[in-house]
Structure 1
Amino acid sequence: MTISICNSPSSSSPISLSLSLSLSDMASLLSLSNFITAAAVLLPPILAFLTYQIIAAKLQGKKSKKKYPPVAGTVFNQLLNFPRLHHYMTDLAAKYRTYRLLGPFRNEVYTSDPANVEYILKTNFENFGKGDYNYSILSDLLGDGIFTVDGDTWKQQRKVSSYEFSTKVLRDFSSVIFKKNAAKLANIISEAATSGQTMDMQDLFMKSTLDSIFKVGFGAELDSVCGSSEGAKFSRAFDDSSAMTLWRYVDIFWKIKKALNIGSEAEIKKNVKIIDDFVYKLIHSRAEQMNMSGNDSSPTKEDILSRFLHVNEMNPKYLRDIILNFIIAGKDTTATTLSWFIYLLCKHPDVQEKVAQEIKEATNSKEVRDFAQFATSISEEALEKMQYLHAALSETLRLYPAVPADAKLCFSDDTLPDGNSVRKGDMVVYQPYAMGRMKFLWGDDAEEFRPERWLDENGTFRPESPFKFTAFQAGPRICLGKDFAYRQMKIYSAVLLTFFAFKLSDDTKAVKYRTMINLHVDEGLHVRAFHRLPQL
């Protein structure tokens, strides 16, 4: 039996999946006179304090026996460069492998050195965590989920989640869902290809992967790809909250705005209520369904929520936090990677054809025209044979990692392997986006899309160190859903590239990212699809 929360479909305009947070947009949000007055009063002393810190840091560096990372600027430089933040950070990483940005409350240390990354994520794992600072920023949206907490709370959730992700039941169930939704997406693309329409592939991927992750997580049919109004409302609220949550990292006034319930903080509060109402409704509906059928006789308990509820009666807030963290891990990351993947295939048609040919050989497809039939026929063995596809997806993640930067808090004074010292309270950040573009890590062609760099002489995929290729984190916090993500992306790629060739709708228009927690394509990815097989 399936819970259906979204039973009022709408064919209205596409979902707007994230809030644009350009400086002009934020200015309009902060237009209240009392906030402008406060900013005018507070900004000059803060700038004076930062100037003092820069001078003091340089003097201290000369006097202290400890070596501290070079000062590359202040957090206000990030604010000024926010629309192109990852370009700015990449430029600094190319100049300094490890550096500092000074802030009014804490320094921020950024590194692209794999030895440092290994030390932070594994060797001295206990000294680098989310901390109160990251928790305060992320918890309104993600609660006490696995991405916001440390210590025993994190260990307990990690243990439970690790067990669930390792079960064959969940793997098989998720694969069925991925194949079903990939076929549904192919039908939509087929209609657009036949009529010659332009599509926003990122929008379609976002809706489709949200449907998949909801079914796997909640056992619920969200059906946002077909325009469910409740699904659209939830999706907008979720993505807007994600964008505004990231803004908190550069908005030194966000706590004041939260206390006054104004501007972006008022928007976050409103959106989180929409999210909570939707998620709690799902949890209560699933719990009632299981109680009515009896725990022993409840259906398959394949989805994550049902499996948690079957173990014991858990606090709804605890379940809400676990599932929302699961959604943010599995929705945006996969959808954005697939979007950048299609973009790169459009820019490199030779790679697109090579991937399509490998899929054809691996699946032994012979002019199959039914999307659902083809998707269902894709076996684990066939997916395993797609080594070049796996390499192309990894190369996409190297250049466009779903999470472009990951911040930890230093709990006590420490010294990194490169000899640079960090202080208690410093924010320490490793940068997957910048690291993927470093010539000292990937060679002179670091900025080129070249899947072959991941293959050995036999054409077999050759993984890199997770401390060099950091798209999935590493150490104790390495992504539990890594295999799930690759499986879903390979299934979608196999279905879509078997039946369609893709081209950018405007090859002269620059494609940029939007600065958010996840690396969205700004304003969507607009492409045209063309049938590879003659239509019946």
Structure 2
Amino acid sequence: MKKIKRFLNIGKEAELKKNIKEVDQFLYKLINSKIETIQNPEDDNIYLKKRDFVSRRLEMKDTDPKYLRDMVLCVTVAGQDTTASSLSWFVYMMCKHLHIQEKIAQEVREIINLKDDRSVDELAASLDQEALNNMPYLHATLSETIRLYPSVPMNARMCFSDDTWPDGFSVKKGDMVVYQPYAMGRMKSLWGDDAEEFRPERWLDKNGLFQDESPYKFIAFSAGPRICLGKEHAYTQMKIISAVLLGSYIFKLADEKKIVNYKTMVSLPIDGGLYVKASPRLWHAKP
């Protein structure tokens, strides 16, 4: 029936075809605009400051626009639910640790010189890449959230050839190797005796700068040649949204006694959603 509808261009198949066309028009318009900017930059300094994911890929020789279209679509669509899940758990952890919430808000205020009368839109407009890079505690807190609540709690890879691992364990071509970021993020053998404790400071060095962990230890984004393509894109999205939210509002749980748990799915959403109270953040008053 699906093939018939597709051939006759009717029903859901016709609607799908129309929607794909609209998405393609938007993406190719974006790509062509970037190509024009690269070829005819009005201001080299502005161009260098605004080099984004698409621009960087276009700088490579023989970049196929269709390949770039597929990559942009993959990064955007694939990261929608996972990023939303991570942000939900982040807000939950901020409600459970108000002193950490306040510390991030102070970091945001100091970096962008936040004033009492600045609107949410003005705050968001101030968050360029340089500002985000100077928020190590926010980065650490997001990473700590993802360590305990990875968007994809269990993942798998198929072996393309026979192999023997460093510990002597052997796998055969076609074997499915399953690993669990959720469990690995809570292993004391990897993270120490306080593995189940929410402590963003574990991601900071003695100077307070963010220090990343090996992707084979912090496996939430996978590792190796097939590491998550949208990792940095996801972090940028989460930093912007988190900085705007915590820089503008104070969050508390709507019901402190309600038990918050995850829903067992491919991803790790909060079961039943997260209900919070948000009050405007007044910088001249303590939360």
- In 1, the alpha carbon distance for the partners of 2:190 and 2:30 equals 53
**Paired residues of 1:368 and 1:374 also in contact (CA < 8 A):** no
- In 2, the alpha carbon distance for the partners of 1:373 and 1:432 equals 37
- In 2, the alpha carbon distance for the partners of 1:351 and 1:272 equals 49
Match of 2:217 in 1: 468
- Of 80, 95, 101, which residue of structure 2 is paired with 1:346? 95
Match of 1:372 in 2: 121
Amino acid at match of 2:21: Y
Q: Structure 2 unaligned runs (5+)?
A: 1-10, 42-51
**Paired residues of 1:501 and 1:531 also in contact (CA < 8 A):** yes
Q: For each residue in 1:291-319, what CA deviation from the matched residue of structure 2 results, as whole angstroms up to 9, or x when unmatched?
A: 9x9x969999x8959x98x96674xxx77
Match of 2:138 in 1: 389
TM-score by length of 1: 0.43
Match of 1:174 in 2: none
- In 1, the alpha carbon distance for the partners of 2:15 and 2:197 equals 42
- In 2, the alpha carbon distance for the partners of 1:499 and 1:433 equals 31
Match of 2:154 in 1: 405
Shift of 1:466: 1.1
Q: For each residue in 1:131-151, what CA deviation from the matched residue of structure 2 results, as whole angstroms up to 9, or x when unmatched?
A: xxxxxxxxxxxxxxxxxxxxx
Match of 1:432 in 2: 181
Q: Against the structure 1 CA distance between its residues 319 and 277, is the aligned structure 2 distance closer, same or farther, given a 3 Å change threshold? A: farther
- In 2, the alpha carbon distance for the partners of 1:464 and 1:440 equals 15
Matches within 5 A, 1:448-527: 448-527=197-276
Amino acid at match of 1:340: W
Q: For each residue in 1:422-445, what CA deviation from the matched residue of structure 2 results, as whole angstroms up to 9, or x when unmatched?
A: 233221022211100111111121
**Paired residues of 2:28 and 2:65 also in contact (CA < 8 A):** no
Shift of 1:337: 1.2
Greater RCO, CA 8 A, separation 6+:
1
Matching of residue 326 in structure 1 with residue 75 in structure 2? yes
**Paired residues of 1:437 and 1:446 also in contact (CA < 8 A):** yes
Match of 2:7 in 1: none
Q: For each residue in 1:232-270, what CA deviation from the matched residue of structure 2 results, as whole angstroms up to 9, or x when unmatched?
A: xxxxxxxxxxxxxxxxxxxxxxxxxxxxxxxxxxxxxx9
Matches within 5 A, 1:63-462: 277-284=18-25, 314=66, 321-462=70-211
Q: Against the structure 1 CA distance between its residues 442 and 459, is the aligned structure 2 distance closer, same or farther, given a 3 Å change threshold? A: same
Give the total of aligned pairs.
259
Q: For each residue in 1:431-475, what CA deviation from the matched residue of structure 2 results, as whole angstroms up to 9, or x when unmatched?
A: 211100111111121111111111122211121111101122222
Amino acid at match of 1:350: H
Q: Against the structure 1 CA distance between its residues 278 and 299, is the aligned structure 2 distance closer, same or farther, given a 3 Å change threshold? A: farther
Q: For each residue in 1:48-69, what CA deviation from the matched residue of structure 2 results, as whole angstroms up to 9, or x when unmatched?
A: xxxxxxxxxxxxxxxxxxxxxx
Q: Against the structure 1 CA distance between its residues 424 and 303, is the aligned structure 2 distance closer, same or farther, given a 3 Å change threshold? A: closer
**Paired residues of 1:280 and 1:320 also in contact (CA < 8 A):** no
- In 2, the alpha carbon distance for the partners of 1:363 and 1:285 equals 32
TM-score by length of 2: 0.77
Amino acid at match of 1:513: Y
